[in-house]
Amino acid sequence: MTGLDWIIIAAYFLLLVGIVWWSSRHQDTTTDYFLAGRNLSWFVVGCSLLASNIGSEHIVGLAGNGATSGMAMAHWELHAWIMLMLGWVFVPFYYRSGVFTMPEFLERRFDSRSRWTLSVVSLVAYVFTKVSVTVYAGAVVFMTLLPDTFGSPENAFWVGALTTVVLTGIYTVLGGLRAVAYTEVAQTGLLLFGSVFITIFGLQQLGGWGELKAILGTDPARVALWRPLSDPDFPWLGIMIASPVVGIWYWCTDQYIVQRTLAAKSLKDARRGAIFGGFLKVLPVFIFLVPGMIGYALHAKGVITIPAKADGSVNGDMVFPTMVASLLPAGLRGIVVAGLLSALMSSLASLFNSCATLFTVDIYRKLRPDRSEAELVRVGRIATGFVVVLGIIWIPVMKLVSGGGLYQYLQSVQGYLAPPITATFLLGLFFRRINARGAFAGLTIGFAAGMAKLTLQALDGSGAFGDTGLLHAIGSYNFLYASGWLLLLSVVVVVGVSLTAPPPDAKQIEGLTYRSITPQQAAENRASWGTAEVVGTAGVLALVLGIYVYFSFWL
């Protein structure tokens, strides 16, 4: 890191300060603080969706998986088609209901028990899958780029982790969702601009796209998009089962993401924002995953040296920071590091605000319903700190689970948390017969089963069960298939338990399922889209299909 790099990073922080100051002048009510006054345009919504999604765990972890397992994780980055589901299938119900949170929507569709359950599950999920992973990935880059600045690489790791958390927490606490959303517009641009240089300089050093294909073509099975059923990590059937389950939960029902569409100034803007976000979502394959494969090829060619794990294999989580340190000139290195920091901070800021919203609206306000708006905003700010502390505590534990790399760890944990939520929302929207008893049972039993699998996986990763026995078999069972079984369990429980109680009252579910929409609501929904939305949707689907076709046969 040179003086020019530090100047660029300082300029980036000054830009953030200006945006936060401008956007945080009026935070008097919960609508202002948690939903940006419900006044975001479709462009801001789309940028915010991508910036919230693409954190440092994507840049570091996805590049790492590109190096170690090629295109296997691309399926999760081609969820642009699921973002279309968000805009067309889910958002009309959410936006029309005027809710602040996803648990609040579940209460309207079912009852308060489902709301409490999803609130707790979501907060736990954020600690396991977002805070710790995002902070860990950013800290790995600090450790690589500034190994001696703070005395040792380990010190640099923790200084980087704590510094970014504190700085992000400050501007999130001050500005609420409006500050988060508008900083994410700037962060999206910087993130995309900076990351493109890794691909450009990497291919330049390697000798072009043809050279990449030649090197990877010597072992095409290792980098294939589709793997045989015998593959221990990414069998194609497991991918097809688990990827949509996680995608629908994450993009269509998770507070962390959906909150951006709830803050749109109209249903049209919410839907357009989701479609625009779908266009942006196809980019990570080319600016994060492909650079990881380039990094592996450069390592194999001897151009760069990626640190190895104890077993001698490439340490995937070190691929991206090694490429930044080895390939980029002064100035560009600062831009890329600023882009990484922007990814880290945008994801953390989104997370902090979503956690504050969940805790304040779904827990604190339920327990103390007569509190003032000012007190609710204050409580939301205080709640952020507790989530940060829990996430940092979880980082050492996370290393035991993440044997397959950072990004695989993330998808593994999400694969255990997503099934009961995905099942409950889909069944709740499409089937009027699903009732409160079934939803509550499905959420609690599904979540308990997922947590049991995660616990056994963590213990097995530490060697607690040895190499034989039932507990080892469960702990080491492929996370993709486990996600499918958890979904099946959740569906059976939701439907089966629902049938043991009377159907919900027609008045209660009016406008909350597809078969209970009123004529006026149907007309409002139809008025919110036109030719632009249809063309945009077709464009996103064509991009996703084109990428699938090309990378299925590219080697």
Range of the domain at 125: 3-552
Instruction: Write the CATH number for 327.
Output: 1.20.1730.10
Supply the pTM of this predicted model. 0.85
Tens-digit pLDDT profile for residues 463-495 = 888 888 899 999 889 889 999 999 999 999 999
As a whole number, the mean pLDDT across the chain is: 84
pLDDT for res 270: 94
267: enclosing H helix or E strand: helix 267-281
Picking from 498, 421, 483, the residue whose alpha carbon sits closest to that of residue 106 is 421
CB 137 within 8 A of CB 161: no
232: phi then psi, degrees, rounded to nearest 5: -70, -20
Region 56-80 average pLDDT: 84
- 314 forms beta bridges with 308
Picking from 355, 58, 14, 30, the residue whose alpha carbon sits closest to that of residue 167 is 14
Instruction: Provide the number of structural domains found in the chain.
Output: 1
* Residue bearing the bigger pLDDT, 250 or 169: 250
Q: How far is CA 415 from CA 170, 233, 278, 369, 426, in A?
A: 32, 14, 22, 35, 17
Tokens describing residue 411: 């998808």
Question: Which of the listed ranges 18-27, 255-264, 321-330, 400-409 does the model predict with the highest average pLDDT?
Answer: 255-264
Region 73-79 average pLDDT: 88
Distance in angstroms (rounded) separating the CA atoms of residues 152 and 309: 19
- Reported confidence tier of residue 404, pLDDT bands at 50, 70, 90: very low
